[in-house]
Amino acid sequence: MAEWMLEDAAKAHDLKFAILRYFNVAGADPKGRLGQSTPQATHLIKVAVQTALGLRPALEIFGTDYPTRDGTCIRDYIQVSDLVAAHLMALAHLRRGGESLISNCGYGRGVSVFEVVDAVKQISGADFKVRISGRRPGDPASLIAGTKRIKAVLGWTPEYDDLPTIVGQALEWERRLHNKSVTGPAGANSLACDAV
């Protein structure tokens, strides 16, 4: 609906716009300046690293009977800095006089829930508890972004398209958040924000 409204406003007022559709933002700024700080987040990678750090008792997997390579849902994750770069490129495109753009923003391939869990266990060195539950209503088996348009129009090339890198960044960010909550505001970066 928001896209339709922007398209209508553009026709009525000679407005140019860029809409980037993205699904599962993950990881953290490689320099540790920002990451997801939502207290009760439900994003898989954040929940998995919190479980690996002992901040949650277990990780719950919803469904292992999907028509996918290992039975769990497949999602296209995008690292937060890659997403920031895409937004900056979209803005530069508009400032150069480029046409309005609606594009998906992802890596064009997905990873399964089990693959994420395995990556978090391997990188953290923690063999945390996993509980298998039934499917959640409405969860599709696979969500993967088609990325041809953003690459063709903006020339966008992701820099952090690597699950172990994304998981490692998320793990370090979560450690920093936990240390901040234990030591207080003076003990950690004050730029924490709910960016992903």
Map out the domains of the chain with their CATH numbers. Answer: 21-187 (3.90.25.10)
| Band of residue 196 on the pLDDT scale cut at 50, 70, 90 | very low
The model's pLDDT over 1-54, given as tens digits with 9 standing for 90+, comes to 999 999 999 889 989 999 999 989 999 999 888 888 887 889 999 999 999 999
The model's pLDDT over 41-76, given as tens digits with 9 standing for 90+, comes to 899 999 999 999 999 999 999 999 999 999 999 999
Residues linked to residue 53 through DSSP beta bridges, in sequence order: none
Residue 77 CB contacts under 8 Å (≥ 6 apart), including other chains = 23, 24, 25, 26, 27, 45, 106, 107, 110, 111, 116, 163, 166
Q: Looking at the predicted structure, is the pLDDT value of residue 154 above 50?
A: yes
Q: Looking at the predicted structure, is the pLDDT value of residue 185 above 70?
A: no
Residues linked to residue 77 through DSSP beta bridges, in sequence order: 24
pTM for the predicted model, two decimal places: 0.85
Question: Exposure of 111 by Cβ count < 10 A (0-12 exposed, 13-18 middle, 19+ buried)?
Answer: buried
Give the helix ranges, DSSP H, for the chain. Answer: 2-13, 44-52, 80-95, 113-124, 148-154, 163-183
